[in-house]
Amino acid sequence: MNFRIYAALAVGLFSAVSANAAGDAAKGSTIANQVCLACHGADGNSPIPMYPKLAGQHPEYIAKQLKEFKSGDRKNAVMAGMVITLTPEDMDNLGAYYGSQAAKGGTAKSNGKGSVGEKIYKAGILGLGVPACASCHGPAGAGVPVQFPRLAGQHADYTVAQLQTFRSGERANDAAKMMRMIASKLTDQDMAAVADYIQGLR
Ligand code: HEC
Ligand code: HEC
C-alpha cells in the first residue's frame, strides 16, 4: 500500500471536518478554565502523563474528538461525561482556544537520536509494512491539518494508551482504519519506543 496515495485519499474523507466554521477562542477559554483545566492544564499543557496535552493541537482535530466522544464513536467514560452539555459550537470554540495555546515540549527518556523509536518514527518497520509515522504526522510531529493530528511533545503514557486502543479496536474513529492497521503490527516494545521518541519531538 502506498501511504502517500492513502493519505491523499484521507484528505477527501475529512473534507466534512474542514468545512467547520472557525471557533471563537475567547469563548472556548471560558469553558476550558471552568471545566477542563483540572486534567488538561489551564493552557492545555497537561501536567499529568495520562491526560493528553491539547495545546497547539489542530482545532479541527480537537472538535472532531469532542464530537466523537459525544456520539460514542470514540469511547471513553471520563470524556463522555465532560462533553454531555457541550454544543457543536462550544467544541469548535474549545478547538480554537487550545489550538492557539503554545505547546510546551517534553523530553525523551531514552529514545533520542539514533534510537529504535526514531527509526520507527522516521522509517517505519520495513519487513512488517509499518509506514513511517512521519509520512502522515510530519517529520517533527507537527501533524498536517486537518486530518493528521500533532503528536510532538505528547506524554508517552498517553500515546502508548492510544496505540493500544487502536490495536484492540476499542478506538475506531480513525478514517479508513489508518491507525488500527498500523497499531495492529506494533509490539508493546515498539509502542513504548516510538512514544518515548514522540515525547521528545519539538
Ligand atoms: C477528569 C479529567 C478530565 C477532564 C476534566 C477533561 N478531560 Fe479531556 N481527556 C481526559 C482523558 C482521560 C482523555 C483520554 C481519553 C482516551 O483515552 O480516549 C481525554 C482526552 C481528551 C481529548 C482528546 C485528545 C486527543 O489528543 O485525542 C480532548 C480533545 C479533550 N480531552 C478535551 C477536553 C475538554 C475540552 C474538556 C473540558 C470540557 C476536558 N477534556 C475535560 C480527561 C479529562
Ligand atoms: C497513513 C497515515 C498515518 C500514519 C502513517 C500514521 N498515522 Fe497516526 N494517525 C493518523 C490519523 C488519520 C489519526 C487521527 C485519527 C482520528 O481522527 O481520531 C492518527 C492518530 C494518531 C494518534 C492519536 C493522537 C491523539 O492525540 O490521540 C497517535 C498516538 C498516532 N496516530 C501515532 C502514530 C504512530 C506512532 C505512527 C507510526 C508508527 C503513526 N501514527 C502513523 C494517520 C496516520
**Domain residue spans of the chain:** 20-99, 105-199
* Res. 21 pLDDT band, cuts 50 70 90: low
Which ligand 2 atom is at minimum distance from the Cα of 191?
Answer: 35
* Res. 28 pLDDT band, cuts 50 70 90: very high
Measured from the alpha carbon of residue 197, the closest ligand is: 2
> How many angstroms does the Cα of residue 167 sit away from the middle of ligand 1?
20
By alpha-carbon position, which residue is closest to atom 2 of ligand 1? 39
Mean pLDDT of all residues in 148-176: 98
| Number of Cβ atoms within 10 Å of the Cβ of 32 | 22
Which ligand 2 atom is at minimum distance from the Cα of 194?
Answer: 35
End-to-end CA distance of the chain: 29
Architecture in CATH for domain 20-99: Orthogonal Bundle (1.10)
pLDDT of 6: 54
Of the candidates 115, 122, 158, 140, the residue with the CA atom closest to the CA atom of residue 202 = 140
Name the residue of 29, 34, 39 to mutate for ligand 1: max ligand atoms within 8 A of Cβ. 39
As a whole number of angstroms, the distance between CA 162 and CA 154 comes to 11
* Res. 22 pLDDT band, cuts 50 70 90: confident
Ligand 1 close to Cβ of residue 42 (< 6 A): no
pTM to 2 decimal places: 0.93
Report the CATH fold assignment for 105-199: Cytochrome Bc1 Complex; Chain D, domain 2 (1.10.760)
The string of pLDDT tens digits covering residues 32-84 is 999 999 999 999 999 999 999 999 999 999 999 999 999 999 999 999 999 99
The string of pLDDT tens digits covering residues 141-156 is 999 999 999 999 999 9
The string of pLDDT tens digits covering residues 95-131 is 999 999 999 999 999 999 999 999 999 999 999 999 9
Alpha carbon distances (Å) from 155 to 24, 36, 133, 140, 165 = 27, 17, 16, 15, 16
Which protein residues are within 6 Å of ligand 2, measured from CB? 3, 6-7, 10, 52, 64, 120, 130-131, 133, 135-137, 147-149, 151, 159, 162-163, 173-175, 178-179, 182, 194
